[in-house]
Amino acid sequence: MKRVFLGLLAIIIIISIAGCNNNPYAGEYKTSDNTILELNSDGKCKVINNSYKDVFYTYGKYTINDNKIEITFDEDKQNYMRVKSLNGEVKGSDI
């Protein structure tokens, strides 16, 4: 009985550690012009630009230091933003 309890406890601890998200900025951010910024916990991001009936995806990587965000877009994928990088500031739940 004790082994079963310890086994279940170990499984619960492993699942909670593996599912832990250490990046408080990870998530989805929306703007008023239907642009969506998705930040992953692994430092990758996706910008979704909803323009009329078309949807454009731009992929890149981001870094955040002192609430300043820098997004650098992947050069090997299509870039619909037409810039190499974007800079911004995180204010609460807004970027």
Express each pLDDT in 18-34 by its tens digit. 666 677 888 888 887 88
Give per-residue burial for 69-82: e unless 16+ CB within 10 Å, then b: bebebeeeeebeee
Total domains present in the chain? 1
Q: What rounded mean pLDDT belongs to the chain?
A: 83
Whose CA is closest to 55, among 75, 80, 38? Answer: 80
Q: Out of 11-15, 42-46, 47-51, pick the least confident.
A: 11-15
Asked if residue 34 is part of any domain, the answer here is: yes
Compute the average pLDDT of residues 52-80: 88
Please say if the pLDDT value at position 65 is more than 80. yes
Asked if residue 12 is part of any domain, the answer here is: no
CATH number at residue 32: 2.40.128
pTM of the model: 0.69
